Amino acid sequence: MSALLSVRDLSIAFGSHRAVEGLSFDVAPGETVAIVGESGSGKSATSLAIMRLIEREGGSIVNGSMQFGEAERIDLATADEATMRRVRGNRIAMVFQEPITSLNPVMRVGDQVAEVLIRHRGLSRKDALAEAERAFEHVHIPDPKKRLHQFPHELSGGLRQRVMIAMALACRPRLLIADEPTTALDVTTQSEILTLIRSLQKEIGMAVLFITHDMGVVAEIAERVVVMRKGAHIEAADVATFFSNPRTSYSRQLLAATPKLGSGAPEAPALSAPVLEVKSLSTSFAASALRGSSRTMAVNNVSITLGKGETLGLVGESGCGKSSLARSILRLVEPETGEIHLAGRDWLRLSSDELRAARRDAQMVFQDPYASLNPRMAIRDAITEPAQIHKLVSARDARDLAVRLVERVGLDADSVDRFPHQFSGGQRQRLAIARALSVQPKLIIADEAVSALDVSIARQVTDLMLELQRSEGVSLLFISHDIAVVERVSHRVAVMYRGEIVETGRTDDVLGAPRHEYTRRLLSAVPRPPLPAPAFQSRRRNDMNARSVLPGDRIHALETLNG
């Protein structure tokens, strides 16, 4: 069978920097090929080059060809813009990692899908909206007629990603490029999206180029794997061979860094008095500014405890209240009822001045390291700012503290004189941890702190957190949708569903023998660790059969849970 897409000797540059060098691979009709590698390996640059969007990002194709098509072949590397406008969204479509930045925030999602149909298929607006509604049904968006008229911010992350897939598939493309489409999603939504892509691929016979750093996802969806490192293609194999017998040491390192559910939890620290004790905490938000007094209960009667040097993992789907609980504990949003005792203080009875002083005891590391550091501040100022606010260090001694902090998190001393944009995502997350450590907190809340990082960098950051916990005795509330990572770092786990804690206990007990139906559903959606080739193929067939239930059914089924 001839290839649908043939990339040969592709080289991409951003100014004088070569992001991709001499890349070659094929994608056959109906095939799924995964491109894997660390951040900065050239994966996304390759996808943007295929779509000829790389020029809009300041890059250029400096060499190579990208032959696309079956009966009629087009060299995408040299095609003019008029040709590419006919190809983009029509014969080749793309789904990006973060749909909230891909969708027009001031345009209803139905109109955005209709726009593609009007441009490429020449439909009237009425017919295009009717087709958009059918596309929403196709990707199992509940109440599609209502969703047509909603704006992106009114939809959950999972529904926004479904809208992006509906838009991408509206013209039934021959090739779908999916660039990290499940990275920011919880495990159940991720499972739904993967099932959806597989079923639609089978139905319309399209090929898929799937870009990811998640090896569990690769094991589930791909037929062949292309490994990239520093812009170069270093290995290609069918998926079973890749997992059972990787040829290069780099591929083996990637697989070794991948957390695998069932690997076991860390040894629990000695029992101690709680650093954090939350009792019957509830927090609600206005459901809509147009609905007056109507409110949504984001955190409902939650109680948790956390001892010195202990990690509590908090898991659950997007929208279940995990981040709302974290922000409520720190009083970044004000709870309505309940108690919060942290480091011996009743936080809900503190005055504003007392709260400002008490915040030294609890720090937060957020998901996005790009937004966590002021881009105009040198690192020496950014990471010592909390210590200076709390008068723990003078301006004269701040640089010395900054040097100690960056070295503590594994960076060079000269890092303190650089600015955030000069660091990678993983390095920025290390700097965010250094900033949190500057005030010697008793509690760190890590809210999806490694979910945006590739597997090897995420492993390094979680290793750093564990090492700092052992040496500093800090307690950690670790919020994540990656249950395998939670198992690796957590002594105990709490499972959150619709604002409530439905199950809590020792990590091995909760993840090894879950008692609540919702916990079992979460675990069933986790991509399984790869197995040797014969068992891998057998298990993969079983998984596809087991997960063939339409994703929309899960939404309905969860409505029946007791919570």
pLDDT in tens, 240-293: 999 999 999 999 988 888 887 877 778 877 777 899 999 999 999 876 544 555
Sheet strand arrangement including 274-286: 295-307, 274-286, 337-342, 345-346
Number of other CB atoms surrounding residue 33 within 10 Å: 21
What is the pTM for the complete model shown? Answer: 0.76
Helices 157-169 and 125-138 cross at an angle (nearest 10°) of 120
pLDDT of residue 528: 64
pLDDT of residue 286: 76
pLDDT of residue 190: 80
Q: What is the pLDDT of residues 173-204, one digit of tens each?
A: 999 999 888 776 778 878 888 888 888 888 88
CA angle at 220 for the pair 507 and 34, rounded to the nearest 5°: 120
Domains defined along the chain, listed by start: 5-256 (3.40.50.300), 274-286+294-524 (3.40.50.300)
pLDDT of residue 552: 39
For residues 21 and 12, give the distance between their C-alpha atoms in angstroms, rounded to a whole number: 7
Residues forming beta bridges with residue 119, ordered by sequence position: none
Tokens 């198992």 -> residue: 487
Number of other CB atoms surrounding residue 41 within 10 Å: 24
The share of the chain scoring above pLDDT 70, in percent, equals 92
pLDDT of residue 293: 58
Q: What is the DSSP string of 500-562?
A: EEEEEEEHHHHHHS--SHHHHHHHHTSPPPP--HHHHHHHHHHHHHHT-S-HHHHHHHHTTS-
Number of other CB atoms surrounding residue 394 within 10 Å: 10
Residue whose C-alpha is closest to residue 149's, from 116, 99, 104, 108: 108
Residues of the chain with pLDDT under 50: 289-290, 529, 531-541, 543-563
Question: Dihedral (C-alpha) 551, 556, 561, 562: value to the nearest 10 degrees?
Answer: 150
pLDDT of residue 26: 96
Q: What is the pLDDT of residues 468-497, one digit of tens each?
A: 898 889 999 999 988 989 999 999 999 999
pLDDT of residue 362: 95
For residues 505 and 265, give the distance between their C-alpha atoms in angstroms, rounded to a whole number: 12
Name the burial class of residue 234, with classes exposed (0-12), middle (13-18) and buried (19+) by CB atoms within 10 angstroms of its CB.
Answer: middle
